[in-house]
Amino acid sequence: MAVATVSTQSGAKPKRSRSQFAQAWRRYRRNYLAVGGLIWVIIFLIAGIIGPWIAPYSYSHTDFLNVNSPPTWQHIMGTDNLGHDMYSEILWSIRFALEIAFGATLVSFVIGIVLGLWAGMKGGIVDQIIMRLVDFMGAFPTFFFDLLLVVKFGRGMGPILMAIGITGWAGYARLIRGLVLSMRKGDMVEAATALGASQMHIARRYLLPNVMNQMAVSLAFGIPNDLTVMAGLSIVGMGLRPPMPSFGNLVAQAGSMMLGFPWMMYFPAGIFALTLLSYLFMADGLSEALNPRGGD
Amino acid sequence: MAILKYLIKRVVAMIIMISAVIAIGYVMMYYTPGGFFTASNIASALGPLAAQNPQLYQQILRDFQERYGLNYPLWHQILLYIWHSLTFNFGYSMQNPSIKIMTTLHTAFPISCMLAFGSIVLALIVGIPLGIIAAIKRNTWVDYTASTVAISGQAIPAFVTAALLVLLFGVVIQGVLPVNGWGGPGHQILPTPGQAVLPIVSLGLGTIGVVAKYVRNSLVDIMRQDHIRTAQAKGVRYWRIVMKHGVRNSLTAMITVIGPAFAFTIVGTIWVEQIFSIPGLGQVLSTAFTNDDFPLAITSIFILAALISIMNLLVDISYSLMDPRVKLE
């Protein structure tokens, strides 16, 4: 018996010479759009981190002598109707967008994991209640709830982050519950239970690592979604309060002045569109690289 | 009879769900600091004198609270509000106390419906052929281009597409299509054909992506099945196989995509109406929210939520009618 086990292991070993991560990266690298998306996302992240230091002006600095100026050497992306330097505004809005998108995704992800794991492991009435709640959140666009929450709690960074976060968990909870349910029936869990492992231990040690891949993909799709919602709130006039720049504010503001001063739209709308595209291409590439079963 | 029972069940569930939405909205609005009847708002409506005279101010405040039922206990207000909403008796908005909300909706609602349904129809007309072509030319540059376009349409939200379209038609090539407005003197609801093009296109791009991707994937799956091989062996012509055996089967299931796509489109409508300054429900909702006009805000959310629920119900029913294997439950 022991001999047989050893021989199968040594027989299987040469095949898995590379780690799972390296294999995924090899598959990812073949998708040029995904690699391009990743590069832009990294640039965007760096700009978000160092942006406030390299921005030539503060976001609330107004240059009254150069109001509505087209791009010049002094203001390389022009200025808006109050004389804000567009380049600085964009750098700051990258920072705010990243903070809110990452924070909100984290919040909804944590809520989703907790509720999904709970529903999946416990079953019964808890499962019923949580899934009804998920259906309820899924049936209406969460944008409406976001609006209501922002009205209630104000238009600052924290309230918007929380509003987007606590309405966006339904998808994560559903995903994780489904994964847990599909695995609870598996041999692995049965074996662990037979060995006397506690439920908490099983969840942490066996279930979580297995769902990591799919969670990474859903996170990659979740961040651009939160970016969109955040900008959408600004379009309706319920986003970050005006002295703070955000892509939604910039686009909405430029939208009303576009026919006279079109350069106000080029940069914010262009960069925002490019960023969302990059995130989506990256997420798409990630889901193909991490999930090689759909190999056609 | 089964369908009648199912309908009743669904409608009851829908009413409960929408009531919950209204109740949540109402409670949040109720506890919002500030509110509409602040001293500055009354002062701007009646002149600073009214705000300075405390008695008159209190009197006006009381009158207003009575008018909007704000003097009842909260639970009573909520039930009253839900009942009034469900019977389409929305009362008056706070900004225009003399104009019924229903009157506002009479022009705003059809406009938003036109936008939403127009964009869905556009998405079907463009998305289905795009998906079919991508599936037939699977794994060629045609497929990759179509998939990339589909992802782009989904990724970029409607307001950015709308803004870029305005940039294109308002600045780069001027005078081809009007870039804002809706209707004109004498016809408030119906737009001129040119006015409708850009909003509907910018709304539809996202749905085109969804539809094309769905048709492509399901058609690729179906083309691998046995009945297709049988048809090929029989010597049926290629296009006939694709259209009759493939596309028809993939389209029945595609109706399930329409429900979520519609909800997505409704939110897009709100944004697009802002960019193109179209006086639809989105515009109503946005002004209501920015001015703390609670009745109008909750009513517009109610209308949109009801529209989405009804659309979901219709999708489910028509799916079961088109595909006899699907059981309603």
Q: Between residues A296 and B44, which one has the greater pLDDT?
A: B44
- Identity of residue B113: C
pLDDT for the residue A39: 93
Domain count, chain B: 2
Percent of chain B with pLDDT over 70: 92
Judge whether B200 lies within some domain: yes
Average pLDDT over residues B116-140: 88
Check if the beta carbon of residue A55 is closer than 8 Å to that of residue A88. Answer: yes
Average pLDDT over residues B15-20: 86
Angle between helices A263-290 and A20-29 (to 10 degrees): 130
User: What is the Cα–Cα distance from A115 to A169, expressed in whole angstroms?
Assistant: 9
A221 touching chain B per CB within 8 A: no
Distance from B139 to chain A by nearest Cα, in Å? 9
Q: Do B187 and B78 have their domain in common?
A: no
pLDDT for the residue B328: 66
Interface contact A258-B170, CB threshold 8 A: yes
- Band of the pLDDT at B165, cuts 50, 70, 90? confident
User: What is the Cα–Cα distance from A59 to A45, expressed in whole angstroms?
Assistant: 19
Among A55-64, A209-218, B151-160, top mean pLDDT goes to B151-160
Q: Return the half-sphere exposure (C-beta side, CA atoms, 13 A cut-off) of residue A155.
A: 19
Q: Do B59 and B203 have their domain in common?
A: no
Query: Which residue, B70, B86, B102, sits at the end of a domain?
Result: B86
- Whether residue A223 has pLDDT greater than 80: yes
Nearest to B28 among A140, A152, A265 (CB): A152
Three-state DSSP at B184 gives strand
A70 touching chain B per CB within 8 A: no
As given in the structure block, the two tokens for residue B249 are 């089967």
Q: Do B153 and B34 have their domain in common?
A: no
Judge whether B63 lies within some domain: yes
Q: Between residues B291 and B133, which one has the greater pLDDT?
A: B133
Average pLDDT over residues B171-198: 77
Interface contact A231-B292, CB threshold 8 A: no
Q: Between residues A182 and A220, which one has the greater pLDDT?
A: A220
* Bridge partner list, B92: B100
Contacts of residue B92, defined as CB under 8 A and 6 or more positions apart, other chains included, come to: B67, B68, B98, B99, B100, B101, B295
- Identity of residue A103: G
- Whether residue A159 has pLDDT greater than 60: yes
Q: Do B45 and B120 have their domain in common?
A: no
- Whether residue A106 has pLDDT greater than 50: yes
A242 touching chain B per CB within 8 A: no
Check if the beta carbon of residue B267 is closer than 8 Å to that of residue A233. Answer: no
pLDDT for the residue A104: 92
Mean pLDDT across chain A: 81
Judge whether B317 lies within some domain: no
Domain map of chain A by residue range? 103-263
Q: Do B169 and B280 have their domain in common?
A: yes
Domain CATH for B167: 1.10.3720.10
pTM for the complete prediction? 0.83
- Band of the pLDDT at A5, cuts 50, 70, 90? very low
Domain coverage including residue B56: 2-86
Contacts of residue A68, defined as CB under 8 A and 6 or more positions apart, other chains included, come to: A78, A79, A80, A81, A257, A260, A261
Domain boundaries A103-263, corresponding CATH code: 1.10.3720.10
Q: Do B35 and B150 have their domain in common?
A: no
- Whether residue A7 has pLDDT greater than 70: no
B309 touching chain A per CB within 8 A: yes
Residue A135: which of B259, B206, B2, B113 has the closest Cα? B259
Chain segment B209-225, per-residue pLDDT in tens: 888 888 888 888 888 88
Cβ under 8 Å to A: B residues 130-149: 139, 148
Q: Do B160 and B265 have their domain in common?
A: yes
- Band of the pLDDT at A42, cuts 50, 70, 90? very high
Judge whether B130 lies within some domain: yes
Among A41-50, A143-152, B214-223, B276-285, top mean pLDDT goes to A41-50
Q: Do B123 and B76 have their domain in common?
A: no
Interface contact A236-B159, CB threshold 8 A: no
